[in-house]
A and B are shown apart, each in its own frame.
Chain A
Amino acid sequence: EAGVVQSPRYKIIEKKQPVAFWCNPISGHNTLYWYLQNLGQGPELLIRYENEEAVDDSQLPKDRFSAERLKGVDSTLKIQPAELGDSAVYLCASSLVATGELFFGEGSRLTVL
């Protein structure tokens, strides 16, 4: 069974440019999460979806970040415009049920110059 797939693995952009990350969760997992992780730190939740509904986006900086999960499967996370402080790893995870075991992708490492 395929795991959570994320792309791109690495992205280097200049500040003020837009960037988008894509996530394909494990088949059948209704809950999808986007986390931000800084080096050596724990993941911080950005947004959680139940099917296509964003049920927790309280930590998403909505002035520059947006996310969508059309049809309740794949999801994209967008940053526009990117700032230097957005440099981090963006992790996507999915689970069968909320608070159950999370299965993470390998992450997308963003560097903003």
Chain B
Amino acid sequence: TQLLEQSPQFLSIQEGENLTVYCNSSSVFSSLQWYRQEPGEGPVLLVTVVTGGEVKKLKRLTFQFGDARKDSSLHITAAQPGDTGLYLCAASNTGKLIFGQGTTLQVKP
């Protein structure tokens, strides 16, 4: 069974701080996606990484895919209250997309 483990599960920080969320697995994936979900809404795709070692930036968010394509990280610089939400990684290598359990981020003003 493929499993995606995210850490930390919860994170509460002050506005302006930096943070990193991790997504780990023992399986190799052909691609990995990061989603963000706000309360009462469905998840929305932030980025897809496909190449080992790949780094993608989306404003203050930096995503990295591990060299072995088994893990990924999401780094947020100078977090804002608007970054509050549930961050989910999702991956597949058999045509079935599975999600991690999520990281709940709260950014306090």
Partner-B contacts on A (CB < 8 A): 4, 33, 35, 40-45, 48, 56, 91, 93, 98-99, 101-102, 104-107
Interface of A is mostly: loop
Determine if B102 and A42 form an interchain contact, defined as CB atoms under 8 angstroms apart. Answer: yes
Residues of A within 8 A of B86 (CB): 40
Which chain B residue has the least Cβ–Cβ distance from A98?
Answer: B95
Residues of B within 8 A of A102 (CB): 33, 35, 43, 45, 90, 97
Which chain A residue has the least Cβ–Cβ distance from B41?
Answer: A106
Residues of A within 8 A of B30 (CB): 99
Residues of B within 8 A of A44 (CB): 99
A48 and B98 CA atoms in complex are apart in Å by: 12
Determine if A91 and B102 form an interchain contact, defined as CB atoms under 8 angstroms apart. Answer: no
